C-alpha cells in the first residue's frame, strides 16, 4: 500500500472553494476544478453554512474595552518611565561631592 500525501490547505483557500461551491450550487464541479474530493468540499460548505454567521457576531464593545485597558496599562508604564528618567537626570546633574568641588 502506498503512502498517501495529505495536502494542507489554508483557511482562505477553503473559504474561497466553499464560497464558489455555494455560489455555483455544483459541489462536484468545484471539486473537480480544484482537484479536490467532493466530500471534502461538501464538508467545507457545511462548515461555512453552520459557522459563517459567527463572523458577524464579534463584540466591538468587548474589543474596545480590551484596547482601552491596554492603553491604560501603557500610559502607566510611560508615567513610570518618565519618573525614572527624571530621577536619572537629577542623579546625573547631582554634584560629585557635598562641597560642590
Ranges of each domain in the chain: 8-57, 58-95
E strand residue ranges, the chain = none
- CA 39 – CA 16 distance, rounded (Å): 16
10-residue averages of pLDDT along the chain (101 residues): 69 90 90 92 90 72 87 97 94 70 50
pLDDT of residue 11: 86
> Looking at residue 86, what is its pLDDT?
94
The pLDDT assigned to 35 comes to 92
pLDDT of residue 18: 92
Amino acid at each position: 500500500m502506498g503512502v498517501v500525501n495529505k495536502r494542507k490547505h489554508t483557511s482562505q483557500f477553503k473559504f474561497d472553494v466553499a464560497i464558489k461551491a455555494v455560489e455555483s450550487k455544483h459541489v462536484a464541479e468545484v471539486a473537480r476544478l480544484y482537484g479536490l474530493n467532493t466530500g471534502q468540499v461538501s464538508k467545507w460548505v457545511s462548515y461555512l453554512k453552520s459557522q459563517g454567521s459567527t463572523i458577524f457576531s464579534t463584540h466591538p464593545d468587548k474589543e474596545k474595552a480590551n484596547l482601552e485597558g491596554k492603553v491604560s496599562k501603557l500610559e502607566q508604564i510611560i508615567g513610570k518611565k518618565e519618573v525614572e528618567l527624571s530621577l536619572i537626570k537629577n542623579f546625573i546633574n547631582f554634584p560629585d561631592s557635598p562641597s560642590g568641588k
